[in-house]
Amino acid sequence: MKLFSHSVEETHQIGKRLAAQLHPGDVLLMIGDMGAGKSELTRGIARGLGITGYVTSPTFTILQVHDEGRMPLYHFDWYRLSDVEELYELSMDEYLYGNGVSVVEWPSRAEEAIPECYLEVTLTPVDDSTREIAFRPVGGFHSLDVQQMTQEKEGSTEA
């Protein structure tokens, strides 16, 4: 399934609608270059989970935990990991199997830690404001309601 977002606000809305379909223990892998919109989509997911605080990219801390919503959000950024052992040493891998939603930016930096079941979300810039957002369930990840993902917000279209 692919959606197109034509603004940051629209990316937030897609994230909110995605959050409505997420369950405790879900893992989302965000794939995309710098500036593709991974953190913006995660901000929308956070709002959709009822998280009201500021959501920053955890580039320097590796993990930000947001637990004031209907379920926790574990926002990982593995860009600066030296190796997968760093995750294990800090017991961060336990969050991947926790009672919240885990969003992982730069998952290729620690592929050994990726669970068997996840949703791969690939963000690709089309132009300065448009992003293609592709969703691919892996390993038995539950189905998503395409209609719910594409309704309401102006400009969101399924491809």
- The reported pLDDT for the residue numbered 146 is 66
CA 69-106-129 angle, 5° bins? 80
Each residue's pLDDT tens digit, 4-24: 999 999 999 999 999 999 999
CA distance to 27, 125, 145, 155, per residue, from 22 (Å): 9, 25, 11, 23
Report residue 116 as tokens.
Answer: 């068997």
pLDDT per residue as tens digits for the range 23-72: 999 999 999 988 888 989 999 999 999 998 878 776 667 788 888 889 99
Q: What is the pLDDT of residue 153?
A: 43
Could you read off the pLDDT of 109-136 as tens digits, one per residue? Answer: 888 888 899 999 999 999 988 999 999 9
Give mean pLDDT, residues 86-111: 83
156 pLDDT more than 50: no
**Contact criterion met (CB below 8 Å) for 66 and 75:** yes
Q: How much of the chain is helix, strand and coil, in % rounded to 5?
A: 30, 25, 45
Average pLDDT over residues 133-146: 89
pLDDT at residue 59 in the model: 65
β-strand 118-125 against 131-138: which pairing, if any? antiparallel
In the chain, how many H helices and how many E strands?
5, 8
pTM for the model stands at 0.87
How many whole angstroms from its chain centre is CA 146? 17
Query: Using one digit for the tens of pLDDT, what is the confidence trace for 80-89?
Result: 887 788 777 7
Question: Which pLDDT belongs to residue 121?
Answer: 95
pLDDT of residue 18: 94
- Tell me what pLDDT residue 138 has: 94
Start-to-end CA span in the chain (Å): 7
